[in-house]
Amino acid sequence: MYFLIDYDRGAGKLVSMTAFEADQGVAARAKRLALELEYHGAGRVREVVILQAPSEAHIRKTHRRYFETLEELVKLAG
């Protein structure tokens, strides 16, 4: 699957996450470009990224920063 992440670095918040099936890579990449152009046109800095994994659980393990606050990361470590 493909997970299109729209993340606001300044606010430290996940704005949206859209899942695409494994055969929808082209659609995921087209949507990513559309978002990048939209933010560029509006002068907004956003992190728009596609993560590829069999499930959401996988990306929540390897890319925790999109989903957990600093306090949550630290708490889980304790």
What 3-state DSSP class applies to 9?
coil
CB of 27 to another protein, least distance (A): 13
Q: Binding to another protein by residue 52, rule CB under 8 A?
A: yes
Cβ atoms within 10 Å, residue 3:
21
CB of 25 to another protein, least distance (A): 7
- CA dist 40 and 47 (Å) reads 11
What 3-state DSSP class applies to 49?
strand
Taking CB under 8 A as the criterion, the residue among 16, 33, 42, 43 binding another protein is: 33
List alpha helices for 1-78, DSSP H: 25-42, 56-62, 70-77
Taking CB under 8 A as the criterion, the residue among 23, 41, 42, 43 binding another protein is: 41
Instruction: Count the residues of the shown chain that bind another protein, applying the rule CB under 8 A.
Output: 36
Q: Binding to another protein by residue 44, rule CB under 8 A?
A: no
Taking CB under 8 A as the criterion, the residue among 10, 23, 42, 43 binding another protein is: 10
